[in-house]
Structure 1
Amino acid sequence: MPAKLWIGIAVGGGIGASLRYIIIVLIVSEGFPFASLTANLIGCFLLPYILLLPNVDPDVKKMIGTGVIGSFTTFSTFSVESIELLQSGQIFFFFTYFMISLLGGIGLSALSYRWMVMRNRGVQG
């Protein structure tokens, strides 16, 4: 892997982590992980969009996808927050967080993917 790509991914990672921190600061949540849910759902929508952009260098897609979006979203935080909800007895919040993350994430990814496929075929959608 070329050094330029490594550096681009690292810089993208710094950008994504900074954007995630901004969301954490802006969305103060007590008892329910709204900030992580928001970041993860945004990332689920954006990743297919970025990966399916036509005429964009594959290395740029890697820098944005792996660097920015990869550091903006996090499965490990989702996992830890889920365990914390369970351990604190917040079963309803756990299932809500789990289902919105799972169904919302896949749904937004599918929506973005479908939108980009249609767009790339010249269909307005």
Structure 2
Amino acid sequence: MSGGFLKYLAIGAAGFLGALARYLITGMTRSVAGSAFPWGTLVVNISGSFLLGLMYAATAQRAIIDPQWRLVIAVGFIGSYTTFSTFSLETFKLLEAGNWPAATGNILGSLIVSLAAVYSGIALGRLV
């Protein structure tokens, strides 16, 4: 991929797909698990962290994907798919409502399990 405009267009298109995937997965998770706890955001944060770790490990030192396309995937798709800003707002709302156990669970789940997911993605990516 060459040229600035084409790169920006590709990042935007990937961002559209990532946002759509986020919306669909969050909605499906909410329909299964309910909305008392932000399970959809947690699932997206963990899976997005895994995908980013996998892509990083699988492509950082190998030329299996052109660096321009790595940028499109990481910034466009995964960048719009993961939702840490939503995580922050939802955690704030839980705290504001006095639901400290759910807020604590959301913080620990999003941070610790996402870090473990990045580690797992990197470990798997290094095997590829």
Comparing 42-51 with 52-61, greater Cα deviation is found at 52-61
C-alpha deviations, 1:78-113, integer Å up to 9, x for none?
A: 100000010111110011110011110101101111
The residue that corresponds to 1:35 in the other structure is 40
Residue 25 of structure 1: how far off its partner (Å): 1.9
Amino acid at match of 1:3: F
The residue that corresponds to 1:93 in the other structure is 102
2:35 and 2:53 map into 1 onto residues whose CA distance is 31
1:112 and 1:95 map into 2 onto residues whose CA distance is 25
2:83 and 2:53 map into 1 onto residues whose CA distance is 16
| 1:26 partnered with 2:25 | no
User: What is the RMSD computed on CA atoms of the aligned residues?
Assistant: 1.3
Comparing 51-60 with 62-71, greater Cα deviation is found at 51-60
The residue that corresponds to 1:10 in the other structure is 12
Comparing 23-32 with 91-100, greater Cα deviation is found at 23-32
Q: Using the aligned pairs only, state the percent identity.
A: 29
Amino acid at match of 1:100: G
Query: What TM-score does the superposition give when structure 1 sets the normalisation length?
Result: 0.89
Segments of structure 2 that go 5 or more residues without pairing to the other structure are none
Count of matched residue pairs: 119
Residue from 48, 54, 61 that aligns with 2:53: 48
Residue 47 of structure 1: how far off its partner (Å): 0.5
C-alpha deviations, 1:6-58, integer Å up to 9, x for none?
A: 11110000000001110122122322000100011000000021223331111
Residue from 43, 60, 70 that aligns with 1:61: 70
The residue that corresponds to 1:70 in the other structure is 79
Kept after mapping to 1: 8 A contact 2:14/2:76: yes
Query: What TM-score does the superposition give when structure 2 sets the normalisation length?
Result: 0.87
What SS does structure 1 have at the residue aligned with 2:72? Answer: helix
Amino acid at match of 2:75: T
Segments of structure 1 that go 5 or more residues without pairing to the other structure are 121-125
